Structure 1
Amino acid sequence: MNLNFSIIIPVFNRPQEIEELLQSISLQSCKENFEVIVVEDGSKNKCDSVCERFKDSMNLHYYFKENSGAGQSRNFGMQKASGNYFIILDSDVLLPEDYLSVVSEQLYSNFTDAYGGPDAAHHSFTPLQKAINYSMTSVITTGGIRGKKKGVGKFQPRSFNMGLSRKAFEITKGYSEMKYGEDIDLSFRLWNNGFETQLIEDAFVYHKRRSTIKQFYQQTFNFGTARPILNKKYPGTSKITYWFPSLFIIGVDIAILLAIFVHVDFVIPVCCYFFLIFLDSFIYNKRIKVAVYSVITTYTQFLGYGLGFLKSQFFSK
């Protein structure tokens, strides 16, 4: 089949991010036909003027709608799109110049009705953004499990970097009304309807993620909250690994209490783990500041996800 891409981008109060993303899209080396659909999700700080500046360099359509969340805005964009394959991006990513070429080549050689790609840190990112990226992608923080083909079973695409055929969208109806975990929910429904997903390892994006510790904590808390809901909605999908962040936080607390009231040696394993995080991040990023931040962001990731998971598991209605 001939691929006609429609790039779907929901945005909420982030005109600067959209400008940077559109600039990266305008530099794509891919020769395939593609259009760009920007869906403004009820923003007060709109990006219509930014989009207007790019209409001469690409086939771009801008829509404004009432606020309903990212998932429903993606559905809105896919309903408006003319392509037969949708590429769904978050507004806080940048594309390498060969992104569309990589996706196109892989889908022509191994077509699936959905795909996902990993993320990376751009050289221009702040030390904190690089640290967050490290925490979210490193195998020793559990974040890297979903980004390595050998580390996953059936790959669950994430909506910051995801593709979906028109046929799959029409049958599944796209994203549900879940505020968080809606991309995993879509993966389950894709599989239930007989569609295959794949990880395109070379189709990575530069993902800025949250720019403050507080925002990153809230994001991971929301991720943790969503998982028990998905486990109940799709019985049999639960895994013991989903409990790891919660057990880690409980273990750290117990170790600290034992170190205070029994013996300091109880906290040594915790210190060794975080030193490993520091060392591994330093080797990867080659900056002490990023390595120090990586210790903080890794703990924040475990804390946010772990507490969100426990709250949703035991205290949600």
Structure 2
Amino acid sequence: MYSFIIPLYNRPDEIDELLYSLTKQNFSKPFEVVVVEDGSENNATKVVSSYNDRLNIQYFLTENQGAGMARNYGMSHAEGDYFIVLDSDVLVPANYLKQVHKALKENYTDAFGGPDAAHSSFTPLQKAINFSMTSVLTTGGIRGKKKAVGKFQPRSFNLGISKKAFETTRGFSAMKIGEDIDLSFRLWNNGFETQLIEKAFVYHKRRNTIDSFFTQTFKFGQARPVLNKKYPGTAKLTYWFPSLFIVGFLLASVLFVMGKWELITFYYLYFMILFMTSLVVNKNVTVAFLSIITTLVQMGGYGFGFLKSMFFKK
């Protein structure tokens, strides 16, 4: 049986939308939902209880310990033999479980990840953030692109892991950011295989403000050098790209003010290609324009977070 594991922190409205989407699963076999309220002040007790007659659901209230530990708590109390971890800010398409089940029957692995997409109901900014986080033109290009990756590293917003693999690895570490990548490395070190299931996508809302998106990507950047140090040999030159990109952009801007426009031309062409690609994908001029801003925020957040963790962390 599949068990959905959902950590929750002060987001009753989000879990309502997610649980409703799970009631629409086009899947004939039973599954359960395990919601772990991670020390929330504004908990979702009433929301979750309203689904008791529509879903096989368990609901736990714990002290605040972080998303990774909340996921572990949920998996340790789940009844299924295969766990599917979701963030509370996703919506699940009706055929999600059917696609997961089909893929695992054809090619079983003890862990998998799925891509994310933007739902039609999302705001222009949410769609732009999704574009920046998934496009081949940005650092998000490997997310959900099977041909672009070697060994796929599942992300915790849409991640599956068998009970056997969970018990062997003990699940997520206490890391606050990058804990899903850390889990991938430990899965591989213990002989477990991972895969991307391309058709098992979720609609991921992500952040809804520029400030919160910058903070999120900054933390992602900070986590990477920590992971590189924890797992020697996993570092890649491509991890430096956002830092080099944003430093180059700042330098190009200064040179442009000084009358030297050659370097800024490269960025102008890049942003034009980015704009046109987003326009084709999203069919919305506002989203296409915002995609330029969100990509700058993504590169800046990750790039500066990476540099701070590399050179200035005490």
Q: Same fold (TM over 0.5)?
A: yes
Runs of 4+ with >2 A deviation: none
For 1:237, the equivalent position in structure 2 comes to 234
* Pairwise CA distance, 1:316: 1.4
Match for residue 126 of structure 2?
A: 129
Q: Offset of 1:262 from its aligned partner?
A: 4.2
Given candidates 258, 277, 297, the residue that maps to 2:255 is 258
**Is 1:285 matched up with 2:282?**
yes
Question: Under a length normalisation based on structure 1, what TM-score does the superposition of the two structures give?
Answer: 0.98
Distance 2:294 2:57 in 1: 36
Task: Kindly provide the CA deviation profile for residues 169-204 of structure 1, in whole angstroms up to 9, marking residues without a partner as x.
Answer: 000000000000000000000000000000000000
Q: Aligned pair 1:93/2:90, yes or no? A: yes
**Paired position in structure 1 for 2:23:** 26
| Aligned pair partner of 1:69 in 66, 69, 86 | 66
Matched, 1:41 2:46: no
Aligned pairs for 1:44-63 (under 5 A) are 44-63=41-60
Q: Distance in 1 between matches of 2:257 and 2:126?
A: 34
Q: Distance in 1 between matches of 2:61 and 2:227?
A: 30
CA shift, 1:271, in A, is 1.2
Secondary structure in structure 2 of the residue aligned to 1:54? coil
Distance 2:189 2:262 in 1: 49
Q: What is the alpha-carbon root mean square deviation over aligned residues?
A: 0.8
Question: 1:266-294: CA deviations, max 9, x gaps?
Answer: 31111111111111101110100101110
| 1:156-305 to 2 correspondences below 5 Å | 156-305=153-302
2:155 is paired with a residue whose SS is coil
CA distance in structure 2 between the partners assigned to 1:92 and 1:66 by the alignment = 21
SS in 1 for 2:137: helix
For 2:301, give the aligned amino acid.
G
Take 1:149 and 1:308, find their aligned partners in 2: how far apart are those partners?
27
Whole-angstrom CA distance in 2 between matches of 1:137 and 1:267: 25
State the partner residue of 2:80: 83
Identify the match of residue 155 of structure 1 among 152, 156, 177. 152
Distance in 2 separating the partners of 1:144 and 1:124? 23
Give the Cα separation in 1 of the matches to 2:92 and 2:141: 20
Question: Which amino acid in 1 is paired with 2:236?
Answer: K
Q: What 5-or-longer segments of structure 2 have no aligned partner?
A: none
Question: Residue 212 of structure 2: SS of its match in structure 1?
Answer: helix
Deviation at 1:263, TM superposition (A): 1.7
Query: In the alignment, does 2:103 pair up with 1:106?
Result: yes
CA shift, 1:100, in A, is: 0.4
In structure 2, C-alpha distance between the alignment counterparts of 1:316 and 1:264, rounded to whole Å: 35
String of CA shifts for 1:71-121, please: whole Å, max 9, x gaps: 000000001101100000000000000000000111111110000000000
Flag structure 1 segments of 5+ consecutive residues without an equivalent.
Answer: none
Separation in 1 of the partners of 2:310 and 2:220? 13
Map of 2:138 onto structure 1: 141
1:102 and 1:261 map into 2 onto residues whose CA distance is 55
